[in-house]
Amino acid sequence: MADLVAAPEWTGRSDPEDGPAALRLHHLAGAAGADVALLGFACDEGVRRNKGRPGAAEGPQALRMAMANLAAPTGWPGFADLGDVALSGTGLEAAQAMMAGQITGALATLERAVVLGGGHETAFASWTGLRSARQGRIGIINIDAHLDIRNAGESGPSSGTPFAQIRAAEPEGFDYLVLGLAAEGNTQALLDRARDWSVGIVPDRALQTGPDAALQAIEAICARNDHIYLTLDLDVLPHAAMSAVSAPAGRGVPLHVVEALIDAVFDAAPVVALADMVEFSPRLDPTGLSARTAALLGRRLLLGGKA
């Protein structure tokens, strides 16, 4: 069963002695004039179906806590926290439909939305909501170690199938770029499918020192589409920086490069109408260090790059 859960109260440190510019993210939750929505998808049924380690359903609340005390730049109008869609049980498809409706509603009044997952099954809900809210071509940029274009198995769609589902829903408009792909983490069957579907790929090995290998591909997909859906799977990071995911990376793409890729997308895109960040599992993060890393990237998505 899927439920709508109200946004929690954002709390954190305040430093009034430093004046009105001493702002943190928690000060700007629900601010008047906000132009970006924050939503959570508290679901990891897709991870379970994909035979991964569960726990990402707890991600949205933990990420809010980790982000609350991060500094907010002067002049930023803040964000509207619209709460979570939370799944209890196995009804993934119903939860995705509810989440899509929430995203569509948010984009009816706000410029863009940021979604905190949840497993990468979040992506099908995200795209569906964006497609309902916006006309024109949608390009998908996935910063991820995995293609996530598997065929659905006996358990149905999962965290490994969302981009195959998107292609099935809109085959003529499917325009998909994956940044940070780990070749050894994707079977030859998936690599062949990606080739047949003209999926753009920049491998993790090419992104070890900087974003340059991806810049041309980013600029090209942004130029030929009206809107960009940016999705960040945290398992693209090296396991030393991000161990709290279902499938930690043996190599990964360094944090500073992932940050630069996000910035490059926001610089090149006509509109990044929707961004999501997925796969963070607090129960796999006993020290809280992965939460700190994820929070930096969540803040960057909220602010629209160059955070």
**For 180-219, how does the pLDDT look when each residue is reduced to its tens digit (9 = 90+)?**
999 999 999 999 999 999 999 999 999 999 999 999 999 9
* Confidence (pTM): 0.98
Residue 282's SS3 state is: helix
pLDDT band for position 306 (50/70/90)? confident
62 neighbors 14 (Cβ within 8 angstroms): no
**For 264-293, how does the pLDDT look when each residue is reduced to its tens digit (9 = 90+)?**
999 999 989 999 999 999 999 999 999 999
Whole-Å CA distances, 81 to 28, 40, 105, 114, 229: 10, 9, 13, 10, 19
**For 24-35, how does the pLDDT look when each residue is reduced to its tens digit (9 = 90+)?**
999 999 999 999
Structure tokens at 220: 């090209």
CATH number, domain containing residue 104: 3.40.800.10
Q: Is the pLDDT of residue 298 over 80?
A: yes
Q: Which pLDDT does position 224 carry in this prediction? A: 97
What is the count of structural domains for the chain?
1
pLDDT band for position 119 (50/70/90)? very high
Burial class (CB in 10 A: 0-12, 13-18, 19+), 283: middle
pLDDT band for position 307 (50/70/90)? confident
Give the span between the Cα atoms of 153 and 10, in whole angstroms.
Answer: 40
pLDDT band for position 235 (50/70/90)? very high
DSSP letter, residue 152: P
Structure tokens at 263: 């910035």
| Domain ranges, residue 291 | 2-303
Structure tokens at 4: 């709508």
